[in-house]
Amino acid sequence: MKLYDYLPSGNSYKVRLLMSYLGISYEWVNLDIHKGETQTAGFKSKNPVGQIPLLELADGRRIAESNAIIYFLAEGTPYWPKNAFDQAKCLQWMFYEQYKHEPSIAVSRFIHNYAMEQRKDELPVLTKKGYLALDVMEDHLADNLWFVFSDSGGDGRSIADVALYAYTHVAGEGGFDLSKYPNIMAWLDRFSDHPRHIRITDKPT
Amino acid sequence: MKLYDYLPSGNSYKVRLLMSYLGISYEWVNLDIHKGETQTAGFKSKNPVGQIPLLELADGRRIAESNAIIYFLAEGTPYWPKNAFDQAKCLQWMFYEQYKHEPSIAVSRFIHNYAMEQRKDELPVLTKKGYLALDVMEDHLADNLWFVFSDSGGDGRSIADVALYAYTHVAGEGGFDLSKYPNIMAWLDRFSDHPRHIRITDKPT
């Protein structure tokens, strides 16, 4: 398999992280979004939306959207629950991540890291929305070790945790103070305590 | 089952539509978002995010996020493909819907219908993003009858079509001109040609 990626991307990191946990090896193609490398005609013929991550299978078929890719990789493994209700709850958190969490927390991080001059006016609204997204996670984690406890034979983690970990653990780069969220902090530690954990900055070898 | 809903919501309409296609009967609870009926402590104890649609099962367990709900209802039916690749493509389009399509097209419709005075400055950017979202759909439909052809024994439709139909068919209310999109227009006609099709304005009986 081949992963089209951009190393600092949390969306791509979800895929790298799950492949590491599952022991899957793959070819890594790093594209620099700041140099327009995802906007070329060549890349858009692979993904018309012009975004990474993009997973290309050995037979040439491709899957876009980070959470769809990690579903594909997790299906049949401990990271995807067995029963339909828990599967739906897993997707519920993953849609939450893409609708409420990523557009506020990941975009704040992007602005802080790359576009402070041009886009700083967006930060007050994004910050408010991001803290609301974190509040919901904090409340859930008061009574739960994981976002959904997967009954598929692993340690309980599911791809809902993978999806939410990606941008939560770097929320500080977007100006968010996680010290106000003890349950989230404990969950981040619990999640990263895995023998094959990798950091977002670790280049695949 | 009980569906917490708001009749004009396209996200809720996805659930109503699929329940109609599948012949599922349910109790309907209409909440007026403009009167704050999804922001009460009572409703937030059911869904901490304070949003409809929310599906409550007979045993009291609940699922939020429209696309997670339609996954739950579709699993084991013709609307959810059998093989893992097509399942991932189905989710790819559903995440696309929630990340690229709904935040531009549904939000434009909301502003046109309810908040023109307060939020009209958002429309130029939302309009541009919405047309980009429609362009990707138009290109895909040039070569495909459905977003993913489900191999699970139905007519080929999947919940990816259900998810994308909901706000596309009312994009005109958000100021979008669909006459420039012949493939989308043909797909909308094809999709609504179903013996149990209902309109977004049809109250469940």
- Backbone dihedral region of B52: left (phi > 0), alpha (psi from -120 to 50 degrees) or beta? beta
Tokens of B26: 């349910």
Confidence (pLDDT) at B139: 97
Residues 6+ apart with CB under 8 A from A67: A14, A94, A95, A97, A98, A159, A163, B91, B95
Q: Tens digits of per-residue pLDDT, B81-134?
A: 999 999 999 999 999 999 999 999 999 999 999 999 999 999 999 999 999 999
Give the span between the Cα atoms of A72 and A55, in whole angstroms.
10
Please check whether the domain covering A2-74 is classified as CATH 3.40.50.300.
Answer: no
CB–CB contact B65 A136 (8 Å): no
Query: B167 contacts in A (CB within 8 Å)?
Result: none
Confidence (pLDDT) at A62: 98
Give the span between the Cα atoms of A54 and A46, in whole angstroms.
8
Residue pair A153/A87 in contact (Cβ under 8 Å)? The answer is no
Q: Tens digits of per-residue pLDDT, A24-79?
A: 999 999 999 999 999 999 999 999 999 999 999 999 999 999 999 999 999 999 99
Facing residues of A55 across strands?
A: A3, A63
Which residues of chain B, if any, have pLDDT below 70? none
Query: Is the previous residue joined to B8 through a cis bond, with omega within 30 degrees of 0?
Result: no
SS3 content of chain A, % helix, strand, coil (to 5): 55, 5, 35
Confidence (pLDDT) at A21: 97
Domain ranges of chain B: 2-74, 84-192
Measure Cα distances from A71 to A130, A162, A171 in Å: 25, 11, 24
For A148-182, give one letter per residue: b (16+ CB within 10 A) or e: bebebeeebbbbbbbbbbbbbbbbebbebeeeebe
CB–CB contact A65 B92 (8 Å): yes
Asked if B101 reaches chain A (Cβ–Cβ under 8 Å), the answer is: no
Asked if A104 reaches chain B (Cβ–Cβ under 8 Å), the answer is: no
Triad B49, B50, B51: Cα angle to 5°: 95
C-alpha neighbours within 13 Å on the C-beta side of residue B99: 25
Which residues of chain A, if any, have pLDDT below 50? none
1.10.150.530, 3.40.50.11540, 1.20.1050.10, 3.30.1540.10: CATH of A84-192: 1.20.1050.10
Query: A139 contacts in B (CB within 8 Å)?
Result: 48
Confidence (pLDDT) at B205: 78
Alpha-carbon dihedral sign for residues B89, A104, B165, B67:
positive
Query: Is the previous residue joined to A53 through a cis bond, with omega within 30 degrees of 0?
Result: yes
Q: How many CB pairs under 8 A join A and B?
A: 95
Write down the H helix ranges in B27-79.
Answer: 41-46, 66-74
For A95-120, give one letter per residue: b (16+ CB within 10 A) or e: bbbbbbbbbbbbbbbbbbeeeeeeee
Beta B2-5 vs B54-56: how paired, if at all? antiparallel
Within 10 A of B87 (CB to CB), how many other CB atoms are there?
22
CB–CB contact A99 B65 (8 Å): yes
Mutate to test the interface with B, among A46, A75, A80, A91 (most CBs of B within 10 A): A91
Give B198→chain A minimum CA distance, Å.
25
Give A170→chain B minimum CA distance, Å.
21
Beta B2-5 vs B27-30: how paired, if at all? parallel
Confidence (pLDDT) at B134: 98
Asked if B61 reaches chain A (Cβ–Cβ under 8 Å), the answer is: yes
Q: Residue A54: closest CA among chain B residues belongs to which residue? A: B92
Which of B76, B91, B140 lies at the smallest CB-CB distance from A71? B91
Confidence (pLDDT) at A205: 78
Asked if A112 reaches chain B (Cβ–Cβ under 8 Å), the answer is: no
Mutate to test the interface with B, among A57, A65, A98, A148 (most CBs of B within 10 A): A65
Which of A64, A92, A139 lies at the smallest CB-CB distance from B92? A64
Tokens of B43: 């409703």
ipTM given for this complex: 0.97
